[in-house]
Amino acid sequence: DIQMTQSPSSVSASVGDRVTITCRASQGISSWLAWYQQKPGKAPKLLIYAASSLQSGVPSRFTGSGSGTDFTLTISSLQPEDFATYYCQQANSFPRTFGQGTKVEI
Amino acid sequence: QLQLQESGPGLVKPSETLSLTCTVSGGSVSSTNYYWGWIRQPPGKGLEWIGSIYYSGSTNYNPSLKSRVTIPVDTSKNQFSLKLRSVTAADTAVYFCVRQGDGGRSFDYWGQGALVTVSS
């Protein structure tokens, strides 16, 4: 299985801050990476697919980049509704695997 | 608007079979563009992909669960299901049904989730 490692595990930030989350794959996955946002008690929401493609309806302050083994999710200006847990997921091979999550806190 | 809704027992006894159904509305499980699957999340923990199915019946399962899991599809009812045999307390989780877009690579629609507790 491909292991996905996110850093940091949690980050404290303020409204308006730029936040960057990193995801590293244990082997190369080309650009087959997705990012999700999950709020407490809710299902995850797809933000980014294919490493950098913005899902329809997702604000442009979310950007994804990277290829191979190293990827980043950047929130350019943190909004109150962005406080949540973020997960990366590799889509290169089966089984699909997720990172352990990064909690963005106030 | 596509909607997915999980249904099934919220409590299952150890060694029994966990059965959940996902009803799809606003779309078709017979679509050639998508896969359909299940993901679970133990309380307070991360996400684990369980498996997926194509309308033709072709499946992919997580090897960690493959010996215990089946995901059938019923195109006449526009539903797909999850059957997980011989459950233990470690299978206690919120179970999400999902649509897999982007060639089956990302999970673009999710059900609200169903908490299943394994306990006697």
Give tens-digit pLDDT for A7-45. 999 999 999 999 999 999 999 999 999 999 999 999 999
Instruction: Give the span between the Cα atoms of A81 and B88, in whole angstroms.
Output: 37
Which residue do the tokens 């302050």 mark?
A: A61
Over residues A94-103, mean pLDDT: 97
Instruction: Give the span between the Cα atoms of B64 and B48, in whole angstroms.
Output: 10
β-strands B11-12, B35-41: how paired?
unpaired
Question: Would you call A44 and B63 a contact, using CB atoms and an 8 Å cutoff?
Answer: no
Question: Would you call B113 and A97 a contact, using CB atoms and an 8 Å cutoff?
Answer: no
Question: Which helix (H) or strand (E) is B71 found in, with range?
Answer: none
Residues of chain A with Cβ-Cβ distance to B48 below 8 Å are 98
Question: Would you call B102 and A95 a contact, using CB atoms and an 8 Å cutoff?
Answer: no
The end-to-end CA distance of chain B, in Å, is: 39
Residue B57: C-alpha distances to residues B29, B70, B80, B106 (Å): 11, 11, 10, 19
Q: Is the pLDDT of residue B57 over 90?
A: no
- Structural contact between residues B62 and A95, judged by C-beta atoms closer than 8 angstroms: yes
Q: What is the mean pLDDT of chain B?
A: 95
Chain A from 37 to 76: CB within 8 A of any B CB: 42-46, 49-50, 55
Instruction: Give the span between the Cα atoms of B7 and B81, in whole angstroms.
Output: 9
Instruction: Give the span between the Cα atoms of B86 and B102, in whole angstroms.
Output: 33
Which of the residues A96, A97, A100, A102 would you substitute to probe the B interface, choosing the one with the greatest number of B C-beta atoms within 10 Å? A96
Q: Is the pLDDT of residue A73 over 90?
A: yes
Quote the pLDDT of residue B18.
98
Quote the pLDDT of residue B119.
97
A36 interfaces chain B, CB cutoff of 8 Å: yes
A-B contacts (CB, under 8 Å) = 58
Instruction: Give the span between the Cα atoms of A61 and B7, in whole angstroms.
Output: 35
Out of B46, B102, B112, closest to residue A50 by CB: B102
Q: Is the pLDDT of residue B14 over 80?
A: yes
- Structural contact between residues A28 and A68, judged by C-beta atoms closer than 8 angstroms: yes
- Structural contact between residues A2 and A87, judged by C-beta atoms closer than 8 angstroms: no
